[in-house]
Structure 1
């Protein structure tokens, strides 16, 4: 049934966004989309999106890349539920690799970061902070090797987000000819202490070249 759904979407040139939180959900997506690509002869160009990917495994990443799939990580889990995952849900070893952005970066996979309203409301400054620091509420670093550089975290909420929606030619970076969608911040996330990123404030928001918010 899932494979046929993907076949129908591919035949209609529709990009799919699939909720895959656990590793077996990721496996089902990969297995069924691979089969759909085999049946239709294409589909990787549609950039299928894997939503959450909390327990995506290292051994699955080459298949993610081969499908042209885009993982979008709900990485705030590390901050707000990381201690629970460490102590009770996944255990100390598996919990180190939830939201495995470090692995995705290593494999050259383009990914994005999101929140999951109303579970956590949109806050991309916090998303960047958590991707760079990976600290739980108790202060435990959960997966040192899954931390990513600040610029990669910024890309995940800007240019990669635009790519996810086939809008990279018009949005996602500040370039001549692109839509002027941007924010002005009170501190430079690339130069301040990475532990202070979450305290950065938005001074101004510009949409289509017009100021729509000013602190």
Structure 2
């Protein structure tokens, strides 16, 4: 979420525009055949996987600037960065990261499909339910 929370600061105060626009270079990593993960720096920024997706896909800062438009990636690749690739990074790809028979049943139910909505509206997605190892650990209530 660096592009959202600290992109303006890096652009204006610490790195300058050219280098700031290259922070968290997800698209470059993909072009080079690399996999990567995204994170939230808790407790510096509160854990929020929807915000991670939004930031990785759109790279919009708090001021509304797109911090490195060439480094934006698809919603599909952003989802892989917090699921399949994250499990791989922790050597847990045989038990986590995707929904498959024999793996832990860890997943969320969302109110909208992040692959099918306007990427700028991903930030508005609500988690309706969280399932951990086959058991509901969170359920949204009005």
TM range (shorter): over 0.9
Deviation at 1:200? 0.6
Q: Match for residue 170 of structure 1?
A: 95
Kindly provide the CA deviation profile for residues 79-111 of structure 1, in whole angstroms up to 9, marking residues without a partner as x: 011111111110011111011111111111111
* Cα distance per residue 1:51-74 (max 9 Å; x no partner): xxxxxxxxxxxxxxxxxxxxxxxx
Q: Could you tell me which runs of 5 or more consecutive residues in structure 1 were left unpaired when the two chains were aligned.
A: 1-75
- The reply to whether residue 182 of structure 1 matches residue 83 of structure 2 is no
Query: Which blocks of at least 5 consecutive residues in structure 2 are unaligned?
Result: none
SS in 2 for 1:152: helix
TM-score, normalised via structure 1 length: 0.64
Divergent runs of 4+, >6 A: none
Deviations 1:130-155 (A, max 9, x none): 00000111111111110011010000
Aligned residue in 2 for 1:211: 136
- The CA distance in 2 between the partners of 1:169 and 1:121, in whole Å, is 28
SS class of match (1:127):
helix
Larger radius of gyration: 1
Let me know the Cα RMSD of the aligned residues. Answer: 0.8
Task: Please state how far the C-alpha of 1:212 moved relative to its aligned partner.
Answer: 1.1
Structure 1 partner of 2:73: 148
Which structure has more relative contact order (CA 8 Å, sep 6+)? It is 2
Partners of 1:170 and 1:209 lie apart in 2 by 13
